């Protein structure tokens, strides 16, 4: 069974999509065909959206579902006239909040993903540049790092660092454990002063071999045997050094980041 879903917004549509995906994930047996319609901020665009929804309704015979974050009531009504099931993301919360805060909402277009605060923007960009400069052990100045991820090659360090930088302005360096480190079962000297900022990523050997095989097909680097050896040694090294770690095999980048923040008591909210 498949149902069509439209995420409609007068801005980027990120909020509509985020909450929509979370709600839909709770209905496991159903396939959803998802479409994003951002920047619907005048009646022409709302009518075009309504027509598209109506067309889909006619094609499938099933009522489309609309997850909506448009603020303007008039635009909402135009889209609702398509006959879709309208789920208005903000409506249920505005009343209770207006009462609690003793003030009316501003009512303008949702700008939560559009607003730019230069300080926050700079924090994101600086952290991203930091992550890029301190990726794969290339640069050695870890003094500025909020945290340093360690792990074997392709265990997920780089995307996690970039995610934490882009979204939270967290300066995360990463250091790939070398064969030399793994042989000696010793943390490299330049990491030792920052032991309390280290966090390890690990992964199942089969999965790691699969990822490496894509990168260097047929190489020793990509064999399950080599992956298993590296991971076992890395695990030993981290246990000996008392470094917390997380197995990333079945965990999304978002969840890895949240778990790391939890471990370090970082409560920074996202931008």
User: Which has the closest alpha carbon to 37: 29, 45, 26, 27?
Assistant: 45
Other beta carbons within 10 angstroms of residue 258's beta carbon come to 15
Q: Is 137 or 188 the residue whose CB approaches a second copy more closely? A: 137
Give the Cα separation of 79 and 43 in Å (integer): 9
Q: By CB under 8 A, what part of segment 208-247 binds a second copy?
A: 211, 214
Q: Is 18 or 178 the residue whose CB approaches a second copy more closely? A: 18
* The one among 35, 52, 54, 228 contacting a second copy by CB under 8 A: 35
Residue whose tokens read 């094609």 = 59
Q: Where are the beta strands (DSSP E) in the chain?
A: 2-8, 31-37, 65-68, 85-88, 147-151, 172-176, 198-202, 245-247
Q: Is 67 or 237 the residue whose CB approaches a second copy more closely? A: 67
Could you tell me the smallest distance in angstroms from the CB atom of residue 249 to a second copy?
Answer: 8
The secondary structure of 186-198, three-state, reads CCCHHHHHHHHHE
Could you tell me the smallest distance in angstroms from the CB atom of residue 258 to a second copy?
Answer: 4
With binding defined as CB under 8 A, does residue 253 bind a second copy? yes
Could you tell me the smallest distance in angstroms from the CB atom of residue 39 to a second copy?
Answer: 6
Q: Is 93 exposed, middle or buried (0-12, 13-18, 19+ CB in 10 A)?
A: exposed
Q: By CB under 8 A, what part of segment 164-183 binds a second copy?
A: 166
Q: Is 194 or 271 the residue whose CB approaches a second copy more closely? A: 271
Q: Is 119 or 180 the residue whose CB approaches a second copy more closely? A: 119
By the 8 A CB rule, do 25 and 125 touch?
no
Report CA Rg, the chain.
24
Could you tell me the smallest distance in angstroms from the CB atom of residue 240 to a second copy?
Answer: 27
Q: Is 99 or 180 the residue whose CB approaches a second copy more closely? A: 99
Could you tell me the smallest distance in angstroms from the CB atom of residue 159 to a second copy?
Answer: 5
- Binding residue ranges for ADP: 151-158
Could you tell me the smallest distance in angstroms from the CB atom of residue 49 to a second copy?
Answer: 13
Q: By CB under 8 A, what part of segment 82-141 binds a second copy?
A: 85, 87, 89-94, 96-97, 100-101, 103, 105-108, 110-116, 121-122, 124-126, 128-129, 132, 135
242: left (phi over 0), alpha (psi -120 to 50) or beta: left
Residues 6+ apart with CB under 8 A from 16: 7, 8, 9, 36, 67, 68, 69, 89
* The one among 2, 58, 189, 269 contacting a second copy by CB under 8 A: 269
* Residues contacting a second copy: total by CB under 8 A: 85
């Amino acid at each position: 069974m498949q149902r069509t879903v439209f995420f409609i917004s007068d801005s980027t549509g990120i909020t509509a999509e985020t909450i929509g995906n979370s709600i839909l994930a709770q209905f496991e047996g159903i396939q959803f065909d998802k479409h994003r319609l951002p920047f619907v901020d005048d009646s022409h665009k709302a009518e075009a959206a309504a027509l598209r929804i109506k067309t889909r309704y006619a094609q499938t015979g099933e009522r489309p579902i609309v997850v909506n974050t448009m603020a303007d009531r008039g635009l909402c009504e135009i889209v609702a006239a398509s006959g879709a099931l309208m789920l208005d993301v903000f409506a249920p919360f505005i009343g209770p909040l207006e009462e609690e805060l003793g003030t009316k909402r501003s009512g303008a277009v949702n700008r939560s993903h559009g607003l730019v605060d230069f300080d926050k923007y700079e924090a994101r960009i600086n952290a991203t540049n930091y992550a890029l400069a301190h990726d794969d052990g290339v640069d050695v100045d870890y003094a500025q790092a909020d945290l340093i991820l360690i792990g074997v090659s392709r265990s997920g360090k780089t995307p996690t660092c970039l995610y934490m930088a882009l979204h939270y302005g967290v300066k995360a360096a990463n250091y790939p454990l070398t064969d030399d480190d793994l042989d000696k079962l010793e943390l490299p000297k330049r990491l030792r002063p920052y032991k309390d900022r280290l966090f390890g990523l690990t992964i199942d050997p089969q999965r790691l071999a699969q990822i490496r095989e894509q990168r260097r097909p047929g190489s020793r680097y990509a064999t399950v045997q080599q992956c298993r050896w590296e991971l076992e040694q890395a695990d030993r090294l981290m246990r000996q050094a008392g470094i917390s770690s997380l197995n990333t095999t079945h965990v999304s980048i978002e969840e890895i980041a949240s778990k790391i923040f939890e471990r370090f008591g970082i409560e920074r909210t996202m931008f």
